[in-house]
Amino acid sequence: QIVDGDNVLAAYCRNTGGAGLLDFGLYIENKTYADAKPATLKKIDVQATQTQFIFQCGEVDLQIDFVSPSLSEKWDLTDWPVGFLSYQVCTESGKEHAVEVLFDVDTEWMFDKREIDSWIEQDWRFVKSDSLYLAMAADETTFSCMDGHAILSQKLYVGNERDKNSSGVLLVGYEEGQVLQYDGEALSPLWNSDGTREVKELMKSVGNRYKELKAECDILDNRWNTKALQAGDKTLAEQMLPAYRNFVSSHRFMSSSDNKLFCFGDTLGNVREAYKSFPALLFFHRTDWMRGLLDPIFEYCEDIHWIKNYPPYDIGLYPVASKQVKLENCAVEAAANMLMMTTAIVEAEQDFDYAGMHWEQLEVWADYLQQKMKKETYPIIGLLDENDERVKCVLGLAAYYKLIQLKGNL
């Protein structure tokens, strides 16, 4: 919001590789909503599968829940590129109110395009611009398009009569538009492994049971929130719950030709990013996703074309897995992290098989760290700096020795 007097604008860009340009500023919108009084945010609650906002709008409250059904455990919706906003109005006064909930999407600002398609299909009104899909119930929705804006709105009623509608849903979907090239083959996303499914069909499936999905997400959020508070405190919950959602939103779940699950961020096979993700994944017992992060790296290192005795920092930039993008090798960090992450999987599963499949590679990395410890001398000052290689050597070797113990026990 712009206020009278001085205003401060801040921008942030995370450049994952190559030349980059960050440009930001202001543009003047039309006066459509100039006379609208802003709502007051009363509450925000971030959970594992959803974020809830409550706004006070005059005499009514508006609750909006941003829900990620792909995180549900009851149904196999992993990697579905569909989410939804459920919304509801309520009042404590008991007076009747007619409320219009309106979603205005500036497609020109988002995609630099004004082309918008709209159609009705099986009781849903769809709106599409570039890779973005929106949908609302057709018989309750009005749609207009002007100056590159897609506007969907719905009338809600709240008050004494219970049979009047006080809630609704906006479905949001997207399609990637690019195919991941990995080791000579094109990998399909997990939700469309056979190449026959469409985003709009997924959206209808989610929309037809969104209340059921929302109820399941409520149960899951309560369970994970309770576990987080039992394991630590509110701070732990505030760290783990958003980290879980962030992982899903920033990774693609791909199915390989031999039915392996791969998890890829924008920088493919990024060892450092995988290491940062492991605490949250371990907390939520997602060892399948942990394997999905490491499997492409192991395959890359066990290929005949990789001859170094430490793992790569990454294996390429989306959409092509080809060669390391980062200029620095970060060899010690990568080797130690891979050893520690493998140990975490073995301990979590209480099964040595995963490490056993890659034991020769793990021995190579442990030997590299051992030789590094012997050759290098380190000053005491700054020994415990977070990027200190000697600390990483120690942690990596400790993980390897732990693996040796687990190999004998398991």
211-234, pLDDT tens digit by residue? 999 999 999 888 888 887 777 677
Neighbours of 32 (CB within 10 A): 13
Give the residue carrying structure tokens 């405190």. 233
Neighbouring C-beta atoms of residue 186, cutoff 10 Å = 12
| pLDDT value at residue 239 | 81
Q: Residue 16 pLDDT more than 80?
A: no
Q: What is the DSSP string of 359-375?
A: HHHHHHHHHHHHHHHHH
Q: At what angle do helices 271-283 and 331-349 cross, to 10 degrees?
A: 20
Q: At what angle do helices 287-301 and 331-349 cross, to 10 degrees?
A: 140
pLDDT band at 30; cut points 50, 70, 90: low
Instruction: Report the distance separating Cα 197 and Cα 70, nearest Å.
Output: 16
Angle at 276 between CA 271 and CA 278, to 5 degrees: 95
Nearest residue to 278 (alpha-carbon basis) of 247, 303, 312, 256: 247
User: What's the mean pLDDT in 378-407?
Assistant: 78
φ and ψ of 258, to 5 deg: -100, 25
Residue 402 Ramachandran class (φ > 0 left, ψ -120 to 50 alpha, else beta): alpha
pLDDT tens digits for range 184-210: 888 888 888 888 889 999 999 999 999
* Structure token pair of residue 106: 């500036």
Question: Which pLDDT tens digit goes with each residue over 348-387?
Answer: 999 999 999 999 999 999 999 999 888 765 555 555 554 5
